[in-house]
A and B are shown apart, each in its own frame.
Chain A
């Protein structure tokens, strides 16, 4: 008991000294913006292994694993008032990965667009730098020349003429896509310093717009034209911001 008492005393004496420092370092309050991602199929939340979905081409399918990289996230004010680029911005979404991340120390301003990329930029795709969620031991590693898988979807399908496994591994520098998404309402960080941007990703959009993917014709691929068709699709309608709250 004696010893605990002394320790407590030490803490009490040290506290004012620490507090004094933080006062000196005080700066303008920076806002934190939470980004939430929800994976959907149409209007239904995606459930791994549990639900059967219908693709835009009319095939049925089950997803057992689905993940993708979101990187280089920016908040943009169309008035040119402010732009925020998240440092070390690599987020692995889905699977056992995360569904939310935080943009920290965002300068006060009014933002009306978010820019982000699907995949890993060329500079980081071929390096051993381990920033953000880039990790040479995760399931998204391909090999050291090709870099990371940007998006991985594994499951099974039943088509009109056959059935089997679905394996889409999309990567390669040409398939790194940057998207600019409008916020449904402008985000004023001075009025709303702890906002959340709610985004949805629609798996069915991987299989249409502009390229309709028929699983009877293509149900697997990692290199070449097939994955690039999916990459074109994921840069067009796959992600949208549904709410600012």
Chain B
């Protein structure tokens, strides 16, 4: 108690000093030694500045460091063989190179592991938008029987028994006690720091780098919805993958199948019009994240362009109007880009590769 009283006097003086300061700084009456360091996010001015971090899970240096350890922690899987990082590998922009993700029991998931970047600005996670926050999302692969197949309650016990984790949790959350909520919060904090903002496209936007003529034309085609009536040609990609995030964060049926086997977003919302819709994901680092689509059916970017240009299933239920109303020829039924135009778009897609992001030590496996 003595120490506490000694601390009290300077606090009172502080309050008196700050009470009338013009910026009305709030004085923390907290006398806890727990003071984590706020994590400073560095963003270029082209990026949205209006992101929201949950009020009960602010980014801290200590929380992010703990989250990084947990992201690469194999004890979070049932047989201690896989971590989040097994399917989300940094050098592949946090994907795994497989069409379908495979968990600890060797069983394939029905969907592909998603690339992770700039999650700070997203609000519906997974291909089907089933998770409303990164905190909620993190539980799903850990507990899924075909992914990491570990009950989080069991993981808490295993981590509590280590020498490594209790001190890391103390620094991040103020006590040695490991809880399910704290594990999920720390992983979410780490994921929010995975910002990819240094591709050649970013440098072009910031006037710090240039594009070749092909890349420039590819970018214009990528961003443009075609209007054959006025001779405006476009690849129509930007309607769903536009903006600096290369995703409008929306869900669409992009005409892959006539008969839907995976209802995607529709299974989550229960609405007929959402059946067969999947997230239009960010195309950042897209050259590194093959194969493509929610089920990894396309091996190359050229195959993806061929799909949108020539193979849209017109009778797919609730096919996006943004696709049906896009053609480069008056009266055309399909997109009708030339081979040359498709090639230029693929050239532009390669400018979205961010080599700083995939080699950034802050995002790498701390156990290596």
Residues in A lying within 8 Å of B, measured CB to CB: 2-3, 6-7, 10-11, 13-14, 17-18, 20-21, 49, 64, 128, 130, 135-139, 141-144, 154-156, 164-167, 169, 219-226
Contacts of B245 in A (CB 8 A): 137
B271 to chain A, nearest CB (A): 7
- Residues B227 and A224 in contact, CB atoms below 8 Å apart: yes
Contact A17/B19 with A137-B245, A223-B227 known, Cβ cut-off 8 Å: yes
Residue of A21, A141, A154, A226 near B242 (CB, 8 A) is A141
Within 8 Å by CB of B20, from A11, A20, A156, lies A20
The bracket for how many chain B residues form the interface is 35 or more
Which residue on B lies nearest to A143, using beta carbons? B223
The chain A residue sitting closest to B230, CB to CB, is A224
Complex CA–CA separation, A171 to B302 (angstroms)? 31
How distant is the Cα of A18 from the Cα of B25 in the complex, in angstroms?
11
Instruction: Write the chain B residue with the least CB distance to A22.
Output: B24
Please count the residue pairs between chain A and chain B whose beta carbons lie under 8 angstroms apart in the complex: 114
Chain B facing A: main interface SS: loop
When distances are taken between beta carbons in the complex, the residues of chain B under 8 Å from A139 are 243, 248-250
Q: Which residue of B lies closest to A7 (CB)?
A: B29
- Which residue of the partner chain, among A3, A13, A155, contacts B12 with CB atoms under 8 Å? A13
**Chain B contacts with A in 1-57, Cβ cutoff 8 A:** 1, 4, 8, 11-12, 15-16, 19-20, 24, 27, 29-31, 45-50
Q: Which residues of A contact B1 (CB under 8 A)?
A: 2
B205 adjacent to A21 (CB under 8 Å): no
Task: Encode contact with A along B100-126: 1 for CB under 8 Å, 0 otherwise.
Answer: 000000000000000000000100000
The residue on B at minimum CB distance from A3 is B31
Contact status A17-B325, CB under 8 Å: no
Q: Which of A3, A137, A219 contacts B243 (CB 8 A)?
A: A137
Contact among A14, A18, A49, A167 for B271, CB-based, below 8 A: A49
CA of A223 to CA of B29, assembled, Å:
58
Closest to A157 in B: B321
